[in-house]
Structure 1
Amino acid sequence: MGRGMGGTLLVAALLLTACATQASEDPPPKPPIATADTIPPETGDAPAVDDIKHSDNVKLIANVPLEAPFDGPQAWGTDLAFQGTYAYVGNYEGFTVFDIADPAKPKVLSRTVCLGGQNDISVVGDLLFLSVDSARSDDTCQGQATDPRSPTAWEGIRVFDISDKAKPEYVTSVRTDCGSHTHTVIPGETSVYVYVSSPTSAPDPENCPPPHQNLTIVDVPVQNPKAARVAAKPDVFQERPGAKADSEHTPAGCHDITVYPERKLAAAACFGDGFLLDISDPLLPKTLQVVRDDNFAIWHSATFNNEGTKVVFGDELGGGMAPTCDKNVDSKQGANAIYDIVDGRKLEKHGYFKIPRAQTANENCVAHNGSLIPVPGKDVMVQGWYQGGVSIWDFTDSDKPREIGYFERGPLPDGKPLGGSWSAYYYNGYIYSSDITKGLDVLEITDPLTDPAKAVKMTELNAQSQRSY
């Protein structure tokens, strides 16, 4: 099962899904059953197994498949980060560094084996950070999967030196309560603050007792990363509404936090609800508002618009393992919800967006990781939808978002349950998609709406650490 990890990782993923979506004895009202009025029209027949389908304004210009040592059955590709002419792609078994100086011909510079799901990834200067949310026997890259209840079990943040892209070097690690499912970096002149999101990976009453409500902030000194330490554990959850212990809205830690330091704001997608935070003091974030949505099952991700006047929250209905984009699921479920930020401090819900292409019952599909396309004066986003592919959509009108382009493949061979685009981000004129089983895709969109973004040149991109353009 792939270095002894496969079964553990799959069980962890299923446990996470079950924990977040369990039914209650007195559930909240169900959204209306899908009808012809609530399901967007299809754009044609779904592609056949592994076939590619795309809008006229989007084309695939490169693909780099997963290769040894990341060629096992569960060596799944995960998140991406960018820096200069390099792209960094996480994998359940480590990470890859690509030279993307020529986006049409990406070159693999190194593949670093470092076991630990899910290896969510960020880069700041010469430092690379990986999240580990799978109990390991120790903090090294050779540590094996172990029982999370073991007193020696380790989960948390690993730090690498990437000054030599061809030979990344492991520097240190920091253990965090409940591990690190994802993380968010706030770069500074002397330190990088790492916000660790830890919903929990498996039942662990000793090291991570329920309800797993925690936020850990790690301080990594830029000049001495070996001195990285847990600097704060602020309680941002004290103002969240209560919930029944067996409710699908049972409070838990955050899945993802997106920061916008210039605006002194953060948006946190936490299991059960969404938060707007004041991060004027990065070590002491304060809750401004908590919102809920009866259509949401798993508050998964958050993205600000460029002006910091809107937040897109995503719902990972089914935990990424289910076919929630077929005709039987309502258009407001497994979708994005668009909130305007009014008076600078209050969230006001407007429209929903879900891809307008019904997928088959064999394709896991739901809203997942994406980023802004920096179009001046417009709100445009690209987003991965697992086997729903990559969607480019415009939410300038918060009440009437619309898709303007897409790329997708047909179902995986043999009905495999997990695949498609984990993350899709725009970087310096191109869209890069980390496909779970197919590797790195590079897409180009040619459209009058998005073409102005090609003039924007970024030097670094961690999608959950936003800045203005």
Structure 2
Amino acid sequence: MGRGTGASLLAGVLLLGACASPAVEESPQTRPPVAATIPPETGGTPGVDEIKHSDNVRLVANVPLEAPFDGPQAWGTDLAFQGTYAYVGNYEGFTVVDIADPAEPVVVSRTVCLGGQNDISVSGNLLFLSVDSPRSDDTCQGQASDPGAPTAWEGIRVFDISDKAKPEYVTSVRTDCGSHTHALVPGETSIYVYVSSPSSVPDARNCPPPHQNLTIVDVPVQNPKAARVAAKPNVFQDRPGGDGESEFNPAGCHDITVYPERKLAAAACFGDGFLLDITNPLRPKTLQVVQDENFAIWHSATFNNAGTKVVFGDELGGGMAPTCDANVDETQGANAIYDLVAGPKLQKRGYFKIPRAQSPEENCVAHNGSLIPVPGKDVMVQGWYQGGVSVWDFTDSDNPREIGFFERGPLPPGKQLGGSWSAYYYNGYIYSSDITKGLDVLEITDPLTDPAKAVKMTELNVQTQRSY
């Protein structure tokens, strides 16, 4: 759970996804009428919890949230994959699921380790969790704490997952302002963890202003207990308005995606998008900073496989607001596609937003997604909270299009936060971490995406891209 701000909108928003940027609301432009945006096969807006999907997408299995993750705020979050296992983050810990048979997934273990939002990654026998809510200490049993308390802790936790049935807590590393998300950069003997953290409410002790850096944690593979903060590079020095005069003051990054093979990283840093050179992983260099008049909260970034494009997502409303209804413009709360041209330089092209208008009761905005590994094409699957799961093709950067979807209707009365937090493709199936419904396993059968079934991955951390 992120730090709050003085803005009334973000006071609720920071509960979930954005946790830091003073987003400026603009008068929305009117989108096309709802009836014009609903494909005929949907049969209209779904009812409460009713499932709707395109003809080429089907639900294969569901792993519901169960004890100990059955409390009111035991929200499902991010996903990572390794071999025949899926790792599912939760505000109260994480779950290991055996997906050897995607149609019959089996829960191997549930580890209670309190601390939002538990963004999750795996590498070898190590598992990493991001904690962005001040705790009384670094243990899994630590309680919520005042941010300025002398013992307040937030940052990165490390587990040993050699035994999937009994993950073992190894160590932790405190980081300034916590860790909202992170990305893994493999080194020869170490894993470098790029920590993204906000600073919406700086405090002199644990989050001293100005917070204009990212934090890099060095985790020695053979001795993870020796993990430490190795660098705090200032990637904001070339940022427009970086002197504090901008309406988006430097506040850390929300999300960084690295592409080690290409020595590049793309960072979504609230008011800006960054292109970074990570030839030296401890000294990333800013190549370019881009801004977008339609973006409120730069949330995440995804390279295409060729490394010639970057998709940036805007989390307008921070995940709590209904920004996919008929009253919000199709360029807001959407994805922006940038071509990576000679330089390298980012050049803005088109926008993509789900073409199915949602009800005003459904929190919906662009959120976590990954490439579907279709050789020679640019295809992505993405979670949109209560907008569901969308599969879309951006091979033509100017004219992206949705080719498939899966969604549920609004939550029952009294519940406001739900839907797909993350939707990723892994070895023939789409896995969606639904905030309140658990892990959905979906299959898409489509001529465009069928070639992806021949691509087999041994590990997937979406914020660490690898070529296929």
After superposition, residues 229-378 of structure 1 pair within 5 angstroms as 229-242=228-241, 248-378=247-377
Q: How far did residue 252 of structure 1 move?
A: 1.3
Match in the other structure for 2:407: 408
Question: Contact 2:20–2:200 at 8 Å: present in 1 too?
Answer: no
Which secondary structure state, in structure 2, belongs to the residue aligned with residue 134 of structure 1? coil
Match in the other structure for 1:444: 443
Q: How far did residue 53 of structure 1 move?
A: 0.1
The alignment status of 1:36 with 2:35, answered yes or no, reads: no
Question: Contact 1:324–1:365 at 8 Å: present in 2 too?
Answer: yes
Query: 1:387/1:397 Cα in 2 relative to 1: closer, same or farther (>3 Å)?
Result: same
Which secondary structure state, in structure 1, belongs to the residue aligned with residue 328 of structure 2? coil
User: What amino acid is aligned across from residue 292 of structure 1 in structure 2?
Assistant: Q
Tell me, in whole angstroms, the C-alpha distance in 1 between the residues paired with 2:108 and 2:16: 35
Match in the other structure for 2:87: 88
TM-score (norm 2): 0.94
The alignment of Structure 1 onto Structure 2 pairs a total of residues equal to 460
Query: 1:18/1:444 Cα in 2 relative to 1: closer, same or farther (>3 Å)?
Result: closer
Query: 1:333/1:17 Cα in 2 relative to 1: closer, same or farther (>3 Å)?
Result: same
Tell me, in whole angstroms, the C-alpha distance in 2 between the residues paired with 1:48 and 1:15: 24
Q: How far did residue 6 of structure 1 move?
A: 12
Match in the other structure for 2:7: none
Question: Contact 1:15–1:201 at 8 Å: present in 2 too?
Answer: no
Tell me, in whole angstroms, the C-alpha distance in 2 between the residues paired with 1:244 and 1:218: 27
Q: How far did residue 13 of structure 1 move?
A: 2.2
Query: 1:431/1:64 Cα in 2 relative to 1: closer, same or farther (>3 Å)?
Result: same
Q: How far did residue 201 of structure 1 move?
A: 6.3
* Consecutive unaligned residues in structure 1, runs of 5 or more: none
* Consecutive unaligned residues in structure 2, runs of 5 or more: 5-10
After superposition, residues 48-447 of structure 1 pair within 5 angstroms as 48-200=47-199, 202-242=201-241, 248-447=247-446
Tell me, in whole angstroms, the C-alpha distance in 2 between the residues paired with 1:61 and 1:16: 28
Post-superposition CA distance 1:210-229 (Å, at most 9, x none): 44322000000000000000
Question: Contact 2:73–2:91 at 8 Å: present in 1 too?
Answer: yes
User: What amino acid is aligned across from residue 323 of structure 1 in structure 2?
Assistant: P
Q: How far did residue 246 of structure 1 move?
A: 8.4
The alignment status of 1:21 with 2:22, answered yes or no, reads: yes
Query: 1:301/1:156 Cα in 2 relative to 1: closer, same or farther (>3 Å)?
Result: same
Post-superposition CA distance 1:384-423 (Å, at most 9, x none): 0000000000000000000000000000001411100000
Tell me, in whole angstroms, the C-alpha distance in 1 between the residues paired with 2:89 and 2:245: 34
Q: Greater CA deviation, 39-48 or 131-140? A: 39-48
Root-mean-square deviation (CA, aligned residues, Å) is 2.3
Question: Contact 1:305–1:372 at 8 Å: present in 2 too?
Answer: yes
Question: Contact 2:77–2:117 at 8 Å: present in 1 too?
Answer: yes
Q: How far did residue 250 of structure 1 move?
A: 2.8
Query: 1:284/1:31 Cα in 2 relative to 1: closer, same or farther (>3 Å)?
Result: farther
Tell me, in whole angstroms, the C-alpha distance in 2 between the residues paired with 1:129 and 1:156: 10
Tell me, in whole angstroms, the C-alpha distance in 2 between the residues paired with 1:190 and 1:276: 26
Percent identical residues: 82
User: What amino acid is aligned across from residue 337 of structure 2 in structure 1?
Assistant: I
Tell me, in whole angstroms, the C-alpha distance in 2 between the residues paired with 1:38 and 1:351: 22
Tell me, in whole angstroms, the C-alpha distance in 2 between the residues paired with 1:445 and 1:243: 44
Question: Contact 2:314–2:335 at 8 Å: present in 1 too?
Answer: yes
Question: Contact 1:195–1:257 at 8 Å: present in 2 too?
Answer: yes
